[in-house]
Amino acid sequence: METKDHGYVYKNVIQLTEDDASRKYLGKVFAWMFIALGISAFCAFEFFLNPGLMNLIVDQERGGFSTLGYVAIFAPVAFSMVISFGLNRLSYPVILFLFIAYAASVGISLSIFGLIYTATSIFTIFISAAVVFGIMAVAGYFTTMDLTKMGSILIMIFFGAFAVAMVNFFLGSPQLSYILSFVFVVLMVGLTAYYMQMLKRIGAGLEYGSAESKKLVIMGAFVLYTTFINLFTSMLRLFGSRR
């Protein structure tokens, strides 16, 4: 009887440590986050540089948003809610499509900032926000302190502040808007560290190759992308130079 040696099967198997698994997962998360930022930047520039597209969302005669403009403003909120609550119900292709559509809708909304703030100010604050985000992401990744309790508190405060911001969108109080922007900056700084620690732990225990793991990559990118966008826009409202 012929005896076959199946040792080659085991020689080709690569065992990942928890740190390696986390880095692999976070690498994919950041790749999709950067793709989303690229999509948003493209849409923002397209709408800002094209008067025809900008007129679709801004009513030049009344000086406010058009009906489509209000849709563009609130579309990211709708997409984010569907992504957040539909993770376990929706397939990977649907989650991916919603994430891309979310990034595009955010970009369209951000194009309006080009009418309010100078290009130099937007660029400078974007870089500043990226530096702050990067520092807190590194801190969250390497810290040995458990940030779970802090993160839970920050998330609760975030939802409260977000509800107030929605009300103030219609009230239009400059003072309240300034206070909320400061609150959001503090919240996003803390949440960046918390989310990085959370995603590091998710990556360490992830089984790669499954549809679930692919959805968790997109969900991680969605969380970090949203955190960065909130940090950037809040800093812009606080420190941006108006036209």
- DSSP bridge pairs for 242: 117
pLDDT mean over 18-32: 86
CA distance 106 to 209: 30
Query: Rounded to an integer, what distance in angstroms lies between the CA atom of residue 162 and that of residue 156?
Result: 10
Regarding pTM above 0.85, the answer is yes
pLDDT value at 39 more than 60: yes
Mean pLDDT for 159-172 is 88
Nearest to 202 by CA among 23, 13, 81, 80: 23
User: Do 163 and 222 form a contact (C-beta atoms < 8 A)?
Assistant: no
Angle at 196 between CA 149 and CA 187, to 5 degrees: 60
Reply yes or no on whether the pLDDT at 126 is more than 60: yes
Let me know if residue 126 belongs to a domain: yes
Hey, CA dihedral for 168, 172, 173, 179, is it positive or negative? positive
> Which residues pair with residue 58 across a beta bridge?
65
**Cα 37 to Cα 164: distance, rounded to the nearest angstrom:** 26
* Model confidence at 65: pLDDT above 60: yes
129 within domain boundaries: yes
In a domain, 5, yes or no: no
Range of the domain at 134: 17-239
Domain count, the chain: 1
The pLDDT, as a whole number, for residue 210 is: 64
Which whole-number Å values give the CA distances from 104 to 41, 65, 94, 101, in the listed order? Answer: 9, 18, 15, 5
Res 14: pLDDT: 44
Around 111, how many Cα atoms within 13 Å sit in the side-chain half-sphere? 30
Mean pLDDT (whole number) for 141-146: 91
- 217 assigned to some structural domain: yes
Would you say residue 207 has pLDDT above 90? no
Mean pLDDT of the region 1-12: 44
Phi, psi of 242, deg, nearest 5: -80, 155
Residue 130's pLDDT is 96
Average confidence (pLDDT) over 170-189:
90
Q: Are 228 and 30 in contact (CB under 8 A)?
A: no
pLDDT of residue 224: 96
Q: What is the mean pLDDT of the chain?
A: 86
CA distances from 143 to 134, 146, 198, 227 (A): 14, 8, 12, 19
Has residue 155 been placed in a domain? yes
Query: Is the pLDDT score of 13 beyond 60?
Result: no
pLDDT for the residue 225: 96
Query: Distances from the Cα of 45 to the Cαs of 3, 49, 167, 212, in angstroms?
Result: 66, 6, 29, 34
Residue 106's pLDDT band, with cuts at 50, 70 and 90, is: very high
For residue 2, being part of any structural domain is answered with no
Coil, strand or helix: which one is 65? strand
Burial class (CB in 10 A: 0-12, 13-18, 19+), 228: buried
Nearest alpha carbon to residue 224 among 153, 138, 160, 145: 138
Identify the pLDDT of residue 3.
44
